[in-house]
Structure 1
């Protein structure tokens, strides 16, 4: 019915990507849809009118929504990460991290009946969007959102970016805080996306809120090893537009490279209600 949030591109052929996204039904529950786009021209090649994966049944960890993160390959099998939403009657919404299996034909199916990562002493309240990439040594690193409290004293939640590691892509060890936060400046983070720079460093983009009442913006952080990060909010390279679909809010970035160009898919006003757009890194 509404929204095209959390865009996630998977290369089909040539310049055409299948861009998966999270759309919402009449009850505000998100499921996974897709559209095929030529990223060199920005033209829509094909619209898919049926969902690729639906939110789960009542009582499941994704009963109230599926919000997607990124894809990775482990043991020759491709997986798509997602945040599974629960919105219990009389309780606060919360999330866990799950994953879908991606078939060679780009069909989606639930990979694990239980969450890949759920509550623990490290992540006591709620988890959100995750990003996984190989660590260069045969293992994997993950960065993901974790709620420390729903109100940090200024009416805004403290939702930080933590790190986890895995030797096989299936079993994860959570290590706690990765990206530094600052109350009143950057304290509600969401959907990290990570890429390597030309000099081999890690670059991360994410959406964040300050707690001042301002809507989401996209910030950045940098790291030499993916473990210790330097916050660089003013180095993201993108801000809200003067007018139009992304003039009030920008969020949920996904950075990827295509034919020597670094591209960013991202959402605008209304948490993806106005759709998603494509930005190109200028040299």
Structure 2
């Protein structure tokens, strides 16, 4: 059984900046130096479009912001593109000489259904985007006809391994259709072209569960460990283990983190990003309303 201690709330936009009007979704940590981290997040503008911004914190006192970057690293893409309504950073992967691969969930609005997602890619060096691919690197296909979304990508020697959100369909409902998605697995030799064999990593555990999202995978001496979001009525953080990263055993009861009695994370916990720093394991996560209430930090004791 894990035991996560909540360090507390870190950040949410105050509504004064029209580009960073609300939400701080999908927090993602990147080491800067020492104990200092840059935390990327997706915020929405006054037109409800998503861009990726960042704050800088010291893990010794993370609730004191060292920097708030009001200039977005990733903004919505070109008109009609897969990401013209939003670009939400999902994962950062070391690409060697190329720099860092910033994989992001691009989304655009639909008509018969509210939206669809795909996985985009930007190449970042020294904190600047040096290339951004116009089309998605992972999208709906012959065997996945609806959409794919936020992913975790680990580079293991010459292989990129990806765990990603995959929509299995929409169900009619009022006031709008309801999506159903779980997590699948893919592989690539270059991080751009992916082999997808339909392998389900984390599947639905009961009929009322309809959304499994934002995987965060760590490989350590005991094998692979994954934290993720899952929901029926409300989002909670789940946990699974695997010996090979392909076949997973869900152990949600062992996650050791639950909602607070009141406040920003009292109704929901979602979108975890787990990372290790100097022998300690940390988790960034969102609270109520899909990140509208902001994000916080927890430490594994």
Give the structure-1-normalised TM-score: 0.92
Cα shift at 1:7: 0.6
Specify which of 96, 99, 105 is matched with residue 83 of structure 1.
105
Q: How does 1:37-52 map to 2 (within 5 A)?
A: 37-42=57-62, 43-52=64-73
Instruction: State whether structure 2 residue 37 is matched by structure 1 residue 17.
Output: yes
**Equivalent residues in 2 for 1:1-283 (5 A)?**
1-42=21-62, 43-77=64-98, 78-89=100-111, 91-104=113-126, 106-108=127-129, 110-135=131-156, 137-151=157-171, 156-176=178-198, 177-184=200-207, 186-199=209-222, 201-210=223-232, 214-282=233-301
Which range is displaced more, 170-179 or 18-27? Answer: 170-179
> CA offset at residue 134 of structure 1?
2.0
Cα-to-partner distance string for 1:184-231 (whole Å, 9 max, x where unaligned)? 3543111100012442x1000111112xxx211110111000010111
Deviates more, 1:9-18 or 1:74-83: 74-83
> How many residue pairs end up in the alignment?
276
Instruction: Provide the rounded CA distance (Å) in 1 between the counterparts of 2:292 and 2:252.
Output: 24
Aligned to 2:13: none
Contact 1:189 1:209 (8 Å CA) reproduced: yes
Shift of 1:168: 2.3
Moved more, 35-44 or 17-26: 35-44
- CA gap 1:35/1:76 in 2 versus in 1, 3 angstroms: same
Larger strand share, 1 or 2: 2
- Between stretches 50-59 and 15-24, larger displacement belongs to 50-59
Do 1:18 and 1:37's aligned partners in 2 also have CA atoms closer than 8 Å?
Answer: yes
Structure 2 unaligned regions, length at least 5: 1-20
Q: Following the alignment from structure 1 to structure 2, what is the Cα–Cα distance between the partners of residues 59 and 280? A: 41
In structure 2, relative to structure 1, the CA distance for the partners of 1:272 and 1:110 (3 Å cut) is: farther
Q: Which consecutive residues of structure 1, in runs of 5 or more, have no partner in the other structure?
A: none
Greater RCO structure (CA 8 Å; 6+ sep): 2
**Contact 2:124-2:131 within 8 A present in 1 as well:** no
Moved more, 257-266 or 88-97: 88-97
